[in-house]
Structure 1
Amino acid sequence: MTRVISVFLPTLSTDRVRRKTGDAAPPADTPLILVGRDGRRRVVLAADAAAQAAGLRVGMPATKAQALVQSLVIQDADPAADAEALERLALWMLQRFAPIVAADPSDGIVIDCSGADHLHGGEPAMLATLVEKLASVGLLARAAIADTWGAAHALARFGGRAGFVSEPGKAANDVATLPVAGLRLPPPLIDSLRVLGFDQIGDLLAQPRAPLALRFGAELGRRLDQTIGRIAEPIDPVRPDTIIEARRAFAEPIGAAETIARYIGKLATQLCDGLEQKGVGARRIDLICQRVDNRAQAVRIGTGLPLRDAKRMTRLLSDKIETIDPGFGIEIMTLTAAVTEPLAPKQVITNLVDEAEPDVSGLIDLLANRVGERNLYRIAPVASDVPERAARHIPALAPETGAEWPGHWPRPSRLLPNPEPIDTVALLPDHPPASFTWRGVRRRVKRADGPERVFGEWWKRDPELEAVRDYFRVEDDAGERYWVFRAGDGQDPLTGSQRWFLHGIFG
């Protein structure tokens, strides 16, 4: 089933100006508007969140806006620069999220994410990552995912959430309560509908189509059908000039899985030849199948290292053939290297003495494309004495970071996700517990070692300025060993709650 993401950038123009200005940009709470010409008048063409909160709106005369807000910052609008920024943003999303991406002027991006969400941990995680990444570079965004471009477009702009995931098959129900402005209709047509009492999309869906078409023309019915998925709405994807791809058009449409796999192999060989000429390898590979009904089926795979091996590329893509719905046939297949990295040729040297280092990159790629890149990782050390901060996830094939865990104190083989409170009998301030109760079971301590004092990282959070933990390794009468700590030094309440917690279990 087709799944489409619509990204709404309500303040793209003003966000672009702030990013371009850098440190000289006005503070975020200072209203900023961009003005331009509408005939002989100077009107507001864009307003940031602070300006909108102050009551300023797009289309308002610039003189009126200036009179309403004294601290207003006014700059000239540049629609051409906004369009260029939107195009660059679409290219960025093409490389990182999905194989079919296009600009949705003047304030959005549309993404066909079918077959790509598994690389990002599922649709909700993909949507959250997208919004967070845009926010990290200073772009306010709302996004929605649905079965159709029209439904996702309406939900992103009027759904009321930063990230809205419409369940498959529920697009018509989800958009029914949204205003008719979500149908991407001309403003005069929207005004005419409101005059007749059609305020919500559901009001129109419940009406017979013939009277609506007679009164308002074919555009209204076309937009309604596109929104609920009755007719297709193809996305014309953006394509950079430098992209490396291989393309095959068929005189007769194909649909059998074996035929698709055979032509994937041929396209992979052509693509690898193009990659070799440029001296690069592919990190993101997109297979786009254009069907005879003008719908596109896309598959994206990722690799841990730059790849230029046609056989491995074919194997990874063929593993996803079951997700491709050929419909009445595929007439064009395109294989694209969406993301590439330099890859120098290697000379294989046979050494009869030393064993060759095993290459697990093929296995890693196979697993990552099945379970998702986020679900396949390595644990790397982090320079922190706080145990839950001393490790992080890195890609499975990422190079060694060079960091090491401290070896002066032993650490448990199993660290709990969160320290769990325990009831203890203990002497204060420096003695380990004589017994403790964890998960309803009382354990008597036979041996103990400690304390190991861990100080809070005061440079990260103010409450950790005086916080400490005293860790003990304890062994119960059954021979089980645990890692417990007291929050605080046992005397000063400013250092912690003085409660006891179990944080890990030794193997």
Structure 2
Amino acid sequence: MFGGIRKRVVCIWFPRLASDRVLRARPVDGPFALTLRESNTERIYCLNAQAERLGLHRGMSFADARAFCPDLVSRPARPDLDARFLAALRRWATRYCPWVGREGVDGLVLDVTGSAHLWGGEAEMLADMRAGAARAGLTIRLGIAETRGAAWAFAHYGKGEDGLAGLPVAALRLDDKVVTALQRLGLRSIGDLSGAARAPLARRFGPGLMLRLDQALGTVLEPVGPENDPPHYGVRMTLPDPIGLSGDVMGVTARLLAPLCDKLKAQETGARTLTLTLRRVDQGSQQVELRLAAPMRDPQRILPLFERGVGAVDAGFGIDQIRLEATLVEPLPVQQIGSTQVSPDRLDDLISRIGTRIGLENIQRFLPADSHIPERGFIIAPAAFSAAQGGWVALRPRPLRLFAPVPIAGTGNRPPERFRWRRMRLTTGRATGPERIAPEWWFSDDNWRMGVRDYWKVDTREGRRLWLFYTPQNPAWFVQGEFA
């Protein structure tokens, strides 16, 4: 009792949260399962009712599941998207009460004390929850009790709030090993456990067992901790008179950037994507999206980057509302910059400015890769989504330019004295080598699967400095690179 009001807690369990989320977008008529790799084995992560009726279950090997059910439709599981979906369901559940928290990875817990009368009673409130879940295509199980532990037990193992003592000990949220050990001792229900001597059980299983029991019975309080909604990085301004000039729009954008960047600074985050929505008087709207090369929260650096997009906006008969939102943010903690440090802000600004014209993905940089194969010693990545790295270590000289191997005429295992390359007749002046390189057999490479290459650095009398290699297993000479 709290202030004369009996405490009431509701547990909402979504037993097929992951599969329901996927099937909502792409329905499947028949058995369906999501798979997740665990210990180098694909296992069933979640499945629909049709698959369960065929005898499939969670944790089952996917190979065994396909043997039992050849018609099984499967897709890879995405626990990260399931967590985002559960967060959306938590916001939906706040319509019943403000105190809503998560219960594991597939449930919610609500402290509905004093809220049920707004729906006409507890039965009506639970009926509305079931109706809402049915409209959304979600499987749901509900439990309501005076404690959080009892509500969880009823949602997972019971059909009502009466008869807690008759529920199995697994309803106390215990580990599987503890449940198995209790069953071997003959303690199969909560009633059996509550009637047994506490001291021997505490010595054998630790204090956690008795804590779960006391939480379910209400002897130990277990509050419902509501989660705070994530910060919303959006500001808007409604204008008394419509505007249409680019300078006016940029002025309003500057006024919106200041409070937005202050909020980003307070949360120690920076914007990576900003969306400027311009609503016209005819109720139409246009958006200007700005993607940044690095997280930023400096209005003076961000504002000039909007000029190109704002200049291309069709204002129509005027713009009466402007909204600015940071749709993608990243952590940006405060840093102490010393006098000897070089700030990368100017490079980030340059990449962002060029990226607004040609796209951030088209501005690329080379990064070192762990491979002794020349053409695999680097990777190309977008500069906006990767950090510059050191580690360019070459124990032997490598050419500045690499290209596909070009065959040339030559005999023997030493560089030819004269050869023709790119319509040029070249004469070998000095040759350094050989450096033998073997292929990486653990990778699949159609260009080089077997054999070795003997690389030579050749300085020609005509001034060309080339990288040649010889293949002893199939005698032939090739040019693959050119030194500066």
- Structure 1 pair 462–444 and aligned structure 2 pair: CA distance change class (3 A): closer
Q: Which residue of 1 aligns with 2:142?
A: none
- Structure 1 pair 17–327 and aligned structure 2 pair: CA distance change class (3 A): farther
- Of 470-479 and 360-369, more deviation after overlay is shown by 360-369
Choose the corresponding residue for 1:383, options 362, 367, 370: 370
Q: Which residue of 1 aligns with 2:360?
A: 373
**1: CA distance between counterparts of 2:433 and 2:410?**
16
Q: Which residue of 2 aligns with 1:283?
A: 272
- 1:25 corresponds to which letter in structure 2? I
Q: Which residue of 1 aligns with 2:72?
A: 73
**1: CA distance between counterparts of 2:374 and 2:237?**
54
Q: Which residue of 1 aligns with 2:303?
A: 314
Question: Residues 297 and 324 of structure 1 are in contact (CA less than 8 Å); yes or no, is this contact kept in structure 2?
Answer: yes
**Cα-to-partner distance string for 1:428-474 (whole Å, 9 max, x where unaligned):** xx211222222233322222112211211111127655332222111
TM superposition shift of 1:270 = 1.9
Choose the corresponding residue for 1:325, options 295, 306, 314: 314
TM superposition shift of 1:13 = 4.6
TM-score by length of 2: 0.53
- Structure 1 pair 472–265 and aligned structure 2 pair: CA distance change class (3 A): same
Q: Which residue of 2 aligns with 1:424?
A: 409
TM superposition shift of 1:247 = 0.9
**1: CA distance between counterparts of 2:349 and 2:436?**
44
**1: CA distance between counterparts of 2:36 and 2:401?**
48
- Structure 1 pair 375–405 and aligned structure 2 pair: CA distance change class (3 A): farther
Q: Which residue of 2 aligns with 1:298?
A: 287
TM-score by length of 1: 0.50
Q: Which runs of 5+ in 1 are unaligned?
A: 1-7, 27-31, 37-41, 43-68, 76-80, 92-239
1:502 is aligned to 2:475: no
- 2:356 corresponds to which letter in structure 1? N
Question: Residues 243 and 338 of structure 1 are in contact (CA less than 8 Å); yes or no, is this contact kept in structure 2?
Answer: no
Cα RMSD of the aligned pairs, angstroms, is: 4.0
Q: Which residue of 2 aligns with 1:484?
A: 468
**Cα-to-partner distance string for 1:117-165 (whole Å, 9 max, x where unaligned):** xxxxxxxxxxxxxxxxxxxxxxxxxxxxxxxxxxxxxxxxxxxxxxxxx
Equivalent runs, 1:223-302 vs 2, <5 Å = 242-302=231-291
Question: Residues 432 and 450 of structure 1 are in contact (CA less than 8 Å); yes or no, is this contact kept in structure 2?
Answer: no
TM superposition shift of 1:375 = 2.4
- 1:450 corresponds to which letter in structure 2? G
**2: CA distance between counterparts of 1:303 and 1:16?**
40
DSSP-derived class of the 1:18 partner:
strand
Equivalent runs, 1:315-354 vs 2, <5 Å = 315-347=304-336, 351=339
1:446 is aligned to 2:429: yes
TM superposition shift of 1:344 = 2.3
TM superposition shift of 1:70 = 6.8
- 2:379 corresponds to which letter in structure 1? R
- Structure 1 pair 241–19 and aligned structure 2 pair: CA distance change class (3 A): farther
**1: CA distance between counterparts of 2:314 and 2:254?**
19
- 2:368 corresponds to which letter in structure 1? P
DSSP-derived class of the 1:325 partner:
coil
Choose the corresponding residue for 1:364, options 351, 360, 377: 351
- 2:72 corresponds to which letter in structure 1? V
TM superposition shift of 1:262 = 0.9
TM superposition shift of 1:502 = 2.0
TM superposition shift of 1:366 = 2.0
- 1:322 corresponds to which letter in structure 2? G
The percentage of aligned residue pairs carrying the same residue is: 30
- Structure 1 pair 401–21 and aligned structure 2 pair: CA distance change class (3 A): closer
- Structure 1 pair 19–315 and aligned structure 2 pair: CA distance change class (3 A): farther
Q: Which residue of 2 aligns with 1:12?
A: 26
TM superposition shift of 1:481 = 0.8
- Structure 1 pair 9–312 and aligned structure 2 pair: CA distance change class (3 A): farther
DSSP-derived class of the 2:372 partner:
coil
Q: Which residue of 2 aligns with 1:410?
A: 397
TM superposition shift of 1:34 = 7.1
Higher relative contact order (CA 8 A, sep 6+): 1
- Structure 1 pair 11–482 and aligned structure 2 pair: CA distance change class (3 A): farther
TM superposition shift of 1:371 = 2.8
- Structure 1 pair 318–442 and aligned structure 2 pair: CA distance change class (3 A): same
Equivalent runs, 1:170-249 vs 2, <5 Å = 242-249=231-238
DSSP-derived class of the 2:432 partner:
strand
- 2:360 corresponds to which letter in structure 1? E
Question: Residues 238 and 322 of structure 2 are in contact (CA less than 8 Å); yes or no, is this contact kept in structure 1?
Answer: yes
**Bigger Rg, structure 1 or 2:** 2
- Structure 1 pair 280–357 and aligned structure 2 pair: CA distance change class (3 A): closer
**1: CA distance between counterparts of 2:242 and 2:83?**
35
- Structure 1 pair 332–246 and aligned structure 2 pair: CA distance change class (3 A): same
Q: Which residue of 2 aligns with 1:160?
A: none
- Structure 1 pair 329–462 and aligned structure 2 pair: CA distance change class (3 A): closer
Q: Which residue of 2 aligns with 1:24?
A: 43
**1: CA distance between counterparts of 2:332 and 2:83?**
31
